């Protein structure tokens, strides 16, 4: 059974419901990574029917975009490309993109690293300062008219910021953190996007590895892996311990599937979801993730059981710091 496809909001793009997130490259915040493994992960994803690939200009300081550009060479049509802009050059609360011309120049850099003349979707990667919001909206709009973007949106968990960003109705898609451990978007962002025909790209469906079920109270993380904060920072450590308890309650509910597959199918079960983008460093991780889309979907009864662990609209998330 092939991966099911869904429409990505106003872009009209038909995307396989499971994509590939490309944050975990060499030089990023996820510890050690290998270019060959990353490129083989992209190949495996293509082989399994994935067509949506998400990156950013700050993942490995542009290295993620460069790797995706290498993978796309000579076959751009097989890829629906999503990238982000905003954090590069951000300093002391001030955006580097203070004018439309500067933003457009920044997007041109995205295009160069990706070795392409257009993007399928680009996201505003920051939600502050609000004074630069207009720069992103206007700049993206100009690039869309030039044919360099099929759509644009933002990466956020801030509902009020989203509504302001979409004031003119031009927002095509939103990238949000959503998982069994963080159901807060169900209260506002998900229904709003469904009403406004805004595509939903779901990041963090495995809660940065927690919902893969591989961590314990004794887990430790490599230098360069931001998840060390879960151990070293008291406020995040407390949340980490609480989430580990929830994960143990979820394990018995993953009948006929792995815990990670349960987590991915949970995000796919919401009708507002367009595509889920779990990250992967190698082909084996890709195969494990994409296989969730080849299984029968969760039943209403199974979804109801998950509410005993995290109620509708509830939960908390851990942010890198």
d(CA 183, CA 211): 14
Instruction: Name which of 201, 311, 320 is nearest 267 in CA terms.
Output: 201
The encoded tokens of residue 26 equal: 């060499």
Instruction: Name which of 139, 2, 12 is nearest 80 in CA terms.
Output: 12
- Residue reference for tokens 């195969």: 287
Helices of type H across 115-158: 133-145
Three-state DSSP class for residue 237: helix
Q: Given its phi and psi angles, is residue 202 left (phi above 0), alpha (psi -120 to 50 degrees) or beta?
A: beta
d(CA 21, CA 41): 10
Cβ atoms within 10 Å, residue 209: 17
Report whether 60 contacts 28 (CB < 8 A).
yes
d(CA 52, CA 75): 14
Task: Please tell me what DSSP assigns to residue 96.
Answer: S
Is 59 designated active site?
yes
In the set 59, 97, 152, 178, the catalytic residue is 59
Report whether 151 contacts 10 (CB < 8 A).
yes
Residues with catalytic annotation? 59
């Amino acid at each position: 059974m092939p991966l099911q496809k869904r429409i990505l909001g106003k872009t009209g793009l038909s995307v396989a419901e499971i994509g590939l997130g490309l944050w975990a490259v060499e030089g990023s915040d996820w510890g050690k990574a290998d270019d060959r493994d990353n490129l083989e992960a992209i190949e495996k994803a293509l082989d399994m029917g994935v067509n949506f690939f998400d990156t950013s200009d700050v993942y490995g300081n542009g290295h993620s975009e460069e790797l995706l550009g290498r993978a796309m060479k000579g076959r751009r049509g097989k890829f629906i490309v999503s990238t982000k802009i905003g954090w590069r050059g951000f300093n002391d609360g001030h955006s580097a993109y203070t004018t439309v011309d500067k933003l457009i120049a920044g997007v041109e850099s995205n295009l160069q690293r990706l070795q392409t003349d257009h993007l399928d979707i680009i996201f505003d990667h920051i939600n502050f300062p609000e004074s630069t919001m207009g720069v992103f909206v206007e700049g993206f709009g100009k690039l869309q008219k030039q044919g360099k973007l099929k759509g644009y949106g933002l990466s956020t968990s801030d509902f009020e910021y989203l509504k302001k960003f979409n004031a003119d109705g031009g927002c095509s898609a939103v990238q949000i953190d959503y998982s069994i451990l963080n159901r807060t978007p169900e209260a506002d962002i998900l229904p709003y996007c469904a009403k406004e025909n805004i595509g939903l790209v779901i990041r963090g469906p495995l809660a940065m590895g927690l919902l893969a079920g591989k961590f314990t109270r004794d887990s430790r993380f490599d230098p360069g892996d931001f998840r060390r904060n879960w151990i070293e920072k008291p406020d995040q450590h407390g949340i980490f311990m609480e989430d580990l308890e929830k994960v143990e309650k979820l394990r018995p509910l993953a009948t006929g599937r792995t815990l990670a597959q349960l987590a991915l199918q949970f995000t796919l079960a919401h009708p507002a979801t367009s595509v889920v983008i779990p990250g992967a460093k190698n082909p084996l991780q890709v195969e494990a993730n994409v296989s969730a889309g080849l299984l029968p979907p969760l039943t209403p009864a199974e979804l109801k059981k998950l509410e005993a662990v995290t109620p509708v609209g509830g939960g908390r998330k851990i942010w890198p710091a």
